[in-house]
Structure formats: C-alpha cells, structure tokens
Structure 1
Amino acid sequence: MKNKNIIIGIVTGLLASAIGLLLVLLLFGKGNSLNDSLQIALSQGVFTKLVSMGAILNLGAFFLFLRRKEDARAQGVLIATVIVAIITLIIRFI
C-alpha cells in the first residue's frame, strides 16, 4: 500500500511540475502561443529556469499531503521534485 501511495505522489509531483511549467510559459512567455514561448525559451537558454519555477507547485502538493498526514504521498512528491531537478541539470549542462 505504501508503494502505491509513493507512486501516486510521484505522479502528482510530475503533473504539478508540468502544470506549473505551462503556467510559467503562459505568464512569462514572449511568444504568441505555448509552442512559440517554448521555442524562444529554448533558444535564449532560459528553459531550465522556467522548469525550476514551474516546480514551485510541488510545494503546495507536498504540504497538502503533509497536512493530510499522507506521508508516503508527500515522499513521492519529494522524489518527483528530485527527478525534475536532475532532468533540469542534465538539460542545463548538455
């Protein structure tokens, strides 16, 4: 049962990061569409910064799970945040 809750937390964390990235692209993007904003961010080298800003939504999910005493799900969100950080570092230095 604990593994299921960790997986739910990981999925929640990854979805929160993806939604956060979309929101950041909508708010701070310089293009006319999401695709344009994404291309501009990649060409200017600020994509990793936008991904990091998008991961801020994981804080809300993490503290929500902690408040509801769902520690395994909060652990999954933390794992997802580490995964996003590693992917961000890989993208940044490649």
Structure 2
Amino acid sequence: MTKKEITIGFFVGLIAATFGLIVAIQIFGKSDDWGQVVSQAIKNGTLTKLMSIGALLNLGAFFLFLKKNQDQRAKGVLIATLLIFITTMVIKFIN
C-alpha cells in the first residue's frame, strides 16, 4: 500500500507541475501558441524559470496531503519536485 500511495503522490506532483507550467506559459508568454512560447523560452534561456514557476503548484499539493495526514502521498509529491529540480538544473547547465 505504501508504494501505491507514493506513486499516486508522484503523479499528482508531475500533473500539478505540468499544469503550473501551462499556466506560466499562458501568463508570461507573448503568444497564444504554446510551441512558439516554449521555443522562444529555450532561445532566451527562460525555460527553466517557467518550469520553476510551474513547480510552485506542488507546494499546494504537498501541504494538502500533509493536512489530510497522507504522508506517503506527500512524499511522492516531494520526489516529483526533486525530479523537476534535477531536470531544471540539467537543462540550465546544458544551455
């Protein structure tokens, strides 16, 4: 049961970060075309900033799971956030 709960939290963390990235693209993008905004962000070196802003939604999911005493799901969200952090750092240092 523990691995299932961690997996659920992990996927909630990834979905929340993806949704947050989409919201950040809509707010800070200069176009309605997401592909164009992402390619422009890659050229400008701001993709990692958009990813970091998107990952802020994981805070809400993390604290919601803690409030509901679902510690294993909160652990899954934390693991997803760490994966996003590592991905962001790799992208930042490659460019």
- For Structure 1 versus Structure 2, the TM-score category normalised by the shorter chain is over 0.9
SS in 1 for 2:58: helix
Unaligned runs of 5+ in 1: none
> Cα RMSD (Å) of the superposition?
0.6
Moved beyond 4 Å, runs of 4+ = none
Distance 2:4 2:20 in 1: 24
Q: What is the CA deviation profile of residues 12-66 of structure 1, one whole-angstrom value per residue up to 9, with x for unaligned ones?
A: 0011111100000001011231111111111100000100000000000001100
> Counterparts in 2 of 1:22-37, with a 5 A limit?
22-37=22-37
Q: Normalized against structure 2, the TM-score is what? A: 0.96
**Matched residue count:** 94
Q: Normalized against structure 1, the TM-score is what? A: 0.97
- 62-71 vs 25-34, which moves further: 25-34
Kept in 1, the 8 Å contact 2:16–2:58? The answer is yes
> Counterparts in 2 of 1:45-64, with a 5 A limit?
45-64=45-64
Distance 2:30 2:14 in 1: 24
> Counterparts in 2 of 1:41-80, with a 5 A limit?
41-80=41-80
